[in-house]
Every structure is written in C-alpha cells, then in structure tokens.
Amino acid sequence: MARQHVTASADPRAGTNRRRLAIVVTLATLLTACDDRRSPVFPGPPAVPTPPTAPAVTYTLSGTVSEDGPTGVTPLEGAVIVVHPSGQRATTDREGFYSLAGVSALPISVMVSKSGYLTQSRTMTLSGDTRVDLQISRIVTYTLSGVVFELTAAGRVPIEGVSVYCDSCGSPDGHTFASSDDNGYYSFAWTNNGATPLYVWKTGYQLAGPAPDRIVATVSGDTRFDIELIRR
C-alpha cells in the first residue's frame, strides 16, 4: 500500500503577529526620535537678592515753651507740641521742657498750643538733633462786672443771690456761672470784646427787658454792666 505524505503548511496568524510587532517597534522608534528632538529646558537666571531698605533718617527735636507776659518770659507747663504731618506730640513739663524723638528729616511744621493762649507754628527741616525754644502769649481778655438791682420807690436796691451765666466768659473754655453777693455785685474774667449774652434768673424776678432771662452786654475792654430785675 502506497504511503501518503502530508506537508504541514505555515500558520497564517504567525505572519500577522510579526507584522504587528514590526509596526509597534517602528512607532516606538519614531516617538523616541521625536522626543529626542524636543527643545531642551534650561534653568532660569538665579534670583537677585533685594537689597535691604535703608532706615529713615530721624532726629530728636527738643526745647522749651515759655509765656511772653507782662511780668516777662516764664516757663509754661502743659503746652502741647504737635509735629505735622506725622502727628507726633509732646506736652511740656513744669519747666516748660519737651522732647520728641524720631522726627523726620523731611520738612515739618511744629505747632504749640495751650488753652487760653494764642497758637504758634513754625516750619523747619531738621538736619540733626535740634533744640527749638518757643514762646506763646495769652489771649487778651477783659473783666465784665456790675450790679444786679431792683428799681424801687426808694431807688436802686441790690439783689443778692442772682445767678448769672456767661457761655464765653470766666475761663479759656467758657461756660461760667457767677452769683451776685450781698451788694448785688457779679464779675466775670476772661471776657472777649464784643456782644456777650448773659442768662440771668432768680426765683420771683425777671429781667426788666423784652426777654425774661436773657440780656446782651457789649464788652469793650474792662466793662461795667448793671442788670435790672423786676418782680414777677
């Protein structure tokens, strides 16, 4: 009996797999080449350190404040010194001395004030620790005084215990009361020239004018101003 010869044919899937592998290898090679052609990344320039800011130039301002009055120049306690524009301030001691550290070397204005005194200011530029002595004068004021009375058949009779109020008299800050004594006398110091309203009252009395409790005194220097009341 004759032998039959069977010839094994190649698996077609093997060729397909080899082609796929070749394609993958080719793509990988192309991607690697593209990656190698990317622009190189260079580090940035080193950071430049910021130089430290120079401290502001400042000095100490000091001195005395005194009153230029009729008895001469005397130290003034409680005067307030203010530096603009910084707003720094100091108050004089019993010797009239003040001191302010850390005052700028830029142009400044120095103002000194005290209740009852004229405010003074000075502009300057410090170039070192500086002493500045200042003088201020009192606001000129006058005395307003008089007698509160009732006009009777026997003549003028003083009235004791009448309350008199002046909004702008009696002290640098005003708002002062006076009470007439047994001679009907009242008095206000620290009065300025000009029209000065007075409010007057006592139980059982009123002013002998159009308003029952308000009258205006005209001050011109030291002024005497008598006030008439009538019974209600």
Per domain, the residue ranges of the chain are 58-136, 142-231
Q: Buried b / exposed e across 202-225, counting CB within 10 Å, b at 16+?
A: beebebeeeeeeebebebeeebeb
Q: What superfamily would CATH give domain 142-231?
A: Immunoglobulins (2.60.40.10)
CA–CA distance, 186 with 176 (Å, rounded to integer)? 12
Q: What superfamily would CATH give domain 58-136?
A: Immunoglobulins (2.60.40.10)
* pLDDT digits 0-9 by tens, 60-118: 999 999 997 777 889 999 999 999 999 999 999 999 999 999 999 999 999 999 988 88
Q: Does the fold of domain 142-231 match that of domain 58-136?
A: yes
Share of the chain above pLDDT 90, in %: 63
DSSP type of residue 215? E
Amino acid symbol at 159:
I
Given the structure tokens 């394609």, which residue do they identify?
23
Cα dist from 178 to 70, 168, 171, 189, 198, whole Å? 27, 13, 12, 10, 10
* pLDDT digits 0-9 by tens, 6-43: 444 455 555 666 666 666 556 656 555 555 555 555 56
Tokens of 90: 């100091």
- The answer to whether the pTM exceeds 0.85 is no
| Residue 48 parent element (H or E) | none
| Residue 103 parent element (H or E) | strand 97-104
β-bridge partners, 136: 67
